[in-house]
Amino acid sequence: MAPNRCLLDLYPEIDPYETGLLEVSATHKLYWEQSGNPDGAPALFLHGGPGSGATPAHRRFFDPAHYRIIIVDQRGAGRSLPLGALEDNTTPHLLADLEKLRNHIGVERWLVFGGSWGSSLALAYAIAHPRRCIGLILRGVFLCRAREVAWFMSGMGTIFPEAWRAFSDHLPPEERSDLLANYYQRLTDPDPEIHLPAAQAWSRYEAACSALRPSPETVIASGDPNLVLGLARIEAHYFIHNLFMDEGELLARAEIYKHLPGAIIQGRYDIVCPITSAADLAAAWPDADYTVVPDAGHSAMEPGIRKALVRATDHFRGYK
């Protein structure tokens, strides 16, 4: 396969040396994979969303000669089965799944890397299982607070009014007073002619707001149900249930993880997860290395974000 010339600041493309489906409930089977060095330092990649799934490019943030790169698609997302399933799909379920996977593949401790919702899940995991974490690398910080969800649903329209108007106008006028509740109703409708257009509208909105300079790498392929249905349906499910966390929990319990080495990487112009959340986390965790990328938005694939993430994983090669 020819290399992606736009991503040459990442490590080369690699294939997994092992993949599997881990049965975690009567409903859910999780796709997982390992790549890189089978005897290397374990590193867990947590995708965003919730519900977006991981991609082959995510392996490339890690030095494959050093790291045993472990990627999992969370319940209902990506290659996990069934796609978009909401039954028994909560934050505590996802945390239990990570422990089941860790035991299944024989990992004692791992470096935990997460962006956007993945940063939330990484912090929740570090609170629940701090002894299993070598350290945390977090990008585009999302702290699961009500104001952050409200910002996503309407506040982003102050910067991207055209994208928000298209998002809002997908619903009939009588449903626009509560976008989250009414999108959730449509996304959970069993009829694909109802839930798929809603998922596409939701995903186009998020993609349009995700990068400082939009490019093909940062725009979701809104015609692909495998990309958009899991993302939109599960994201709305988590948002409407307050991310299955207490308000402010991830900051309030910082004493549990603040002894861990950490890197916080944030685009200055991140509209999806504004920089105030990263600044709040850095204040609660002063020993973490806090990097503000001055010419970037939210996407992990923006040049400055990519470079900062690779620097962080390279730096963590010194930790065990």
Write out the catalytic residue numbers: 116, 270, 298
Q: What is the DSSP letter of 292?
A: E
> Which residue stretches of 43-160 are H helix?
91-105, 117-128, 146-153
Instruction: Tell me how far apart the alpha carbons of residues 67 and 152 are, in angstroms, rounded to a whole number.
Output: 34
C-alpha 170/C-alpha 179 separation (Å) is 10
Whether 136 and 118 have beta carbons less than 8 Å apart is answered as no
Q: Which H helix or E strand runs over 193?
A: helix 192-208
Backbone angles phi, psi at 207, to 5 degrees: -60, -40
Q: How far apart are CA 314 and CA 62, in angstroms?
A: 7
Separation between Cα atoms, residue 35 and residue 42, nearest integer Å: 10
For residue 261, how many other CB atoms are within 10 A of its CB?
Answer: 17
If one counts every other C-beta atom within 10 angstroms of the C-beta of residue 182, the result is: 18
User: What amino acid is encoded at 144 in this protein?
Assistant: C
**Rg of the chain in Å (alpha carbons):** 18
Q: Which residue has the tokens 């603040």?
A: 258
Amino acid at 51: G
In this structure, are residues 140 and 116 in contact, taking their beta carbons and an 8 Å threshold?
yes
Q: Quote the CA–CA distance of 22 and 101 in Å, as a whole number.
A: 7
CB burial of 184-196 (b: ≥16 within 10 Å; e: otherwise) equals bbbbbeeeeeebb
Of 102, 148, 153, nearest to 245 by C-alpha is 148
